[in-house]
Amino acid sequence: MGKDRSIVHMDLDTFFVSCERLLDSRLNGKPIMIGGTSDRGVVAACSYEARAFGVHSAMPMKMARERCPEAIIIKGNSATYMKYSTMVTDIIKEDAPLYEKSSVDEFYIDLTGMDEFYGCLQYASELRQRIMKETGLPISFGLSENKTVSKIATGEAKPNNQIKIDYGEEKPFLGPLSVRKIPMVGLKTYQNLRNLGIKKIHTIQNMPIDMMQSAFGKNGSGIWRKAQGIDNTPVIQHSERKSISTERTFDHDTIDILKLKGILSAMAENLAFQLRRGKKVCACVTVKVRYSDFQTQTLQRRLPYSSADHDLIPLVAELFERLYNRRLLVRLIGVRYSDLVNGHHQMSLFDDKANFFELYQAMDKMRIRYGDRAVLRAVGMEARTIGRWNPFSGEPPPLLANRRS
CA proximity to 187, closest of 44, 320, 20, 57: 57
- The one catalytic residue among 20, 100, 106, 145: 106
- Beta carbons of 242 and 340 less than 8 angstroms apart: yes
Distances (CA, A) of 168 to 163, 164, 205: 15, 12, 14
Alpha-carbon distance of 83 to 115, in angstroms, equals 33
Has 269 been annotated as catalytic? no
CA end-to-end span of the chain, whole Å? Answer: 30
Q: What angle do CA 117, 157, 61 make, to 5 degrees?
A: 135
Residue 30 DSSP label = S
Look at residue 157 and give its three-state secondary structure: helix
Distances (CA, A) of 20 to 16, 33, 43, 318: 6, 11, 15, 29
Alpha-carbon distance of 362 to 64, in angstroms, equals 26
Alpha-carbon distance of 198 to 294, in angstroms, equals 64
- For 304, list phi and psi in degrees, rounded to 5: -60, 145
Active-site residues: which are they? 106
